[in-house]
Amino acid sequence: MLQKACVRLCVAAWMVAICLPTASAHPHAWIDVKTTIILSNAGMVSAVREDWSFDRDYTSVLLRGPNGQRKPLTEFTQTAMHNLAQYSYFLELHAGGARLSLGQASDGDSKITNDSLEMHFTVSLARPVDISRSEMTLSVYDPTYYIDFEHVKSHPLSFEGPGAEACVARITPAHPPAEALSQAKAMDRNAAINTSLGKMFAETLSIRCGLAH
């Protein structure tokens, strides 16, 4: 029973099994995001690189081992990548009216900067996508809204590869309905998990590359 209760409480179990003892409302953790769109030699979107910076409190909880010592970053990163794969790395991409399929992540790496965990990884698309004629949209979010993801204002999105200079992007902030705001405010550690809440609070990046902007 205790194990089941912990699983129910630990909404962000994609990294480690943790239970925050006093959190009373969503979100419980914050991650600043930078996204890089990687273009193939043909100028098509082939991959997405994510740079995540965790808040200090969440960093402390995530890296705390059973004996109180800090977990090795290599071990943490391997576990995180494995668990995130089950949730499409918290990425949702659309183009041409369909959700895009993702491949496996690579280049996973973590480091500590000013007591904050920084994690980096690259996720390939199952098939490269031509977005010279239609937009691609991208959102980064935890479906349960346990973690709040927000792109940094100073440098949210960049492009790499042939034709990168012809790419443009815009960010549309989330506009969650009043009902979702009330639900997030009232959500405590005893509440049932709602896997549709996070999407309502997700920013949307709209991306286009090529001449037909």
- Identify the band that residue 7 occupies on the pLDDT scale cut at 50, 70 and 90: very low
Tens digit of each residue's pLDDT (9 = 90 or more) over 15-36:
443 333 334 456 789 999 999 9
Tens digit of each residue's pLDDT (9 = 90 or more) over 83-119:
999 999 999 999 999 999 999 999 999 999 999 999 9
Q: Find the domain containing 64 and state its range.
A: 2-17+28-209
Query: What tokens were used for 169?
Result: 């992007």
Instruction: Decide if 90 contacts 140 (C-beta within 8 A).
Output: yes
Alpha carbon distance 143, 197 (integer Å): 6
Question: Of the segments 9-23, 66-80, 159-173, which one has the largest average pLDDT value?
Answer: 159-173
Give phi and psi for 74, each to the nearest 5: -65, -45
The end-to-end CA distance of the chain, in Å, is 56
* Structural domain total, the chain: 1
Give the closest residue to 52 by CA, choosing from 37, 30, 73, 22: 30
Q: Is there a domain that residue 22 lies in? A: no
**SS3 for 112?**
strand
Query: What tokens were used for 123?
Result: 């996720």
Q: Is there a domain that residue 23 lies in? A: no
Structure confidence at residue 184 (pLDDT): 75
* Residues in contact with 149: Cβ distance below 8 Å, sequence separation at least 6, in sequence order: 31, 33, 52, 90, 140, 141, 142, 202, 203
Q: Is there a domain that residue 123 lies in? A: yes
Give the closest residue to 57 by CA, choosing from 140, 148, 143, 141: 148
